[in-house]
């Protein structure tokens, strides 16, 4: 059983099954853990969002800086720290799956710092965009879950390999652009941020691929619950699903921003 999500793949269950003791993973348990992780992420995201607007709104209105230690730089540090810390926790969780009851919540808290900051930034530039992105993200989640449960989408080997190849290509593209940025090269700017048909088409493609990863995640979690893997894999499965949802949310934000720029 292989998925394109580097977190949720068949090796994860193969390794965990070798150490299965006591209670086993269930779908309901994974759902409960997913809600718990989102609650933790929402806590830190709300905190950064509040700090961002407490700082930004007075500056927009021309009110002089009052000497508060919570400067715009403070929010930037929180976002950057959350992004780096979340990435580290994601790596630790991926390679030490039995630590996931601790590292998955830590990832959610750290990722919330980044998500809260970037959401506030987009909301400041495009009022109302965050609620639209949240609605579309969870609407996509529930729609694809319904489609998956109905059997309209069959998760075959070819389907998995196709999504895996597309996801890998996108990750390599983003990595190349990120590395080039350190050398002052702004590669494919119109494709990544432009509101031209090419830019919007690229975002639509990425959103579609991110969304289809959810189907693979559902399949992975369902099969895992049937495989007798240990209980801690519920945290790992919830963590993997959150990784996909965060990616989907960010890509939807980017797409909506491009569409707003065309007005």
Mean pLDDT per 10-residue section of the chain, whose length is 263 residues: 55 55 85 96 94 68 54 78 95 94 97 94 92 97 94 88 93 88 75 84 95 93 88 94 96 95 80
Distances (CA, A) of 124 to 48, 100, 255: 14, 35, 16
Q: What is the pLDDT of residues 40-57, one digit of tens each?
A: 999 999 999 988 877 766
Looking up tokens 């895992």 gives 224
Q: Hey, what are 221's tokens?
A: 């979690």
Q: Which sign, positive or negative, has the C-alpha torsion 249, 204, 165, 181?
A: negative
User: Is residue 42 a contact partner of residue 247, using CB atoms and an 8 Å limit?
Assistant: no
Q: CA 171 to CA 191: how far, in whole Å?
A: 15
Residue 128 CB burial class (10 angstroms; 0-12, 13-18, ≥19)? exposed
In the three-class reduction of DSSP (H, G, I as helix; E, B as strand; rest coil), residue 24 is classed as: strand
212-251 tens-digit pLDDT:
999 999 998 998 888 888 999 999 999 999 999 999 999 9
- The first and second tokens of residue 87, run together, are 């990435």
Give the separation between CA 210 and CA 253, rounded to whole angstroms: 13
Count other C-beta atoms under 10 Å from residue 84's C-beta. 12
d(CA 249, CA 218): 17
- pTM of structure: 0.86
Three-class SS state of 195? coil
Compute the mean pLDDT over every residue in the chain, rounded to the nearest whole number. Answer: 86
Report the pLDDT value the prediction gives residue 2, as an integer from 0 to 100: 44
């Amino acid at each position: 059983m292989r998925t394109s999500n580097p977190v949720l793949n068949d090796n994860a269950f193969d390794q965990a099954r070798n150490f299965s003791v006591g209670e086993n993973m269930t779908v309901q348990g994974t759902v409960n853990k997913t809600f718990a992780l989102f609650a933790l992420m929402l806590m830190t995201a709300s905190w950064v969002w509040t700090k961002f607007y407490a700082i930004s709104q007075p500056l927009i209105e021309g009110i002089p800086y009052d000497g508060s230690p919570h400067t715009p730089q403070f929010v930037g540090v929180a976002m950057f720290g959350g992004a780096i810390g979340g990435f580290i926790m994601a790596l630790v969780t991926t390679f030490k799956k039995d630590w996931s009851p601790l590292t998955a919540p830590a990832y959610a808290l750290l990722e919330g710092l980044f998500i809260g900051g970037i959401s506030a930034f987009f909301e400041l530039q495009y009022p109302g965009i965050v609620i639209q992105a949240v609605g579309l993200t969870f609407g996509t989640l529930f729609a694809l879950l319904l489609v998956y449960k109905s059997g309209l989408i069959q998760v075959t080997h070819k389907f998995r390999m196709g999504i895996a190849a597309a996801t890998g290509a996108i990750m390599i593209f983003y990595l190349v652009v990120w590395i080039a940025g350190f050398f002052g090269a702004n590669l494919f700017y119109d494709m990544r941020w432009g509101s031209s048909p090419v830019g919007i088409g690229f975002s639509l493609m990425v959103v579609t691929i991110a969304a289809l990863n959810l189907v693979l995640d559902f399949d992975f979690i369902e099969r895992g619950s049937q495989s007798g893997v240990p209980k801690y894999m519920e945290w790992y499965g919830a963590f993997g699903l959150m990784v996909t949802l965060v990616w989907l949310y960010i890509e939807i934000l980017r797409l909506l921003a491009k569409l707003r720029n065309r007005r």
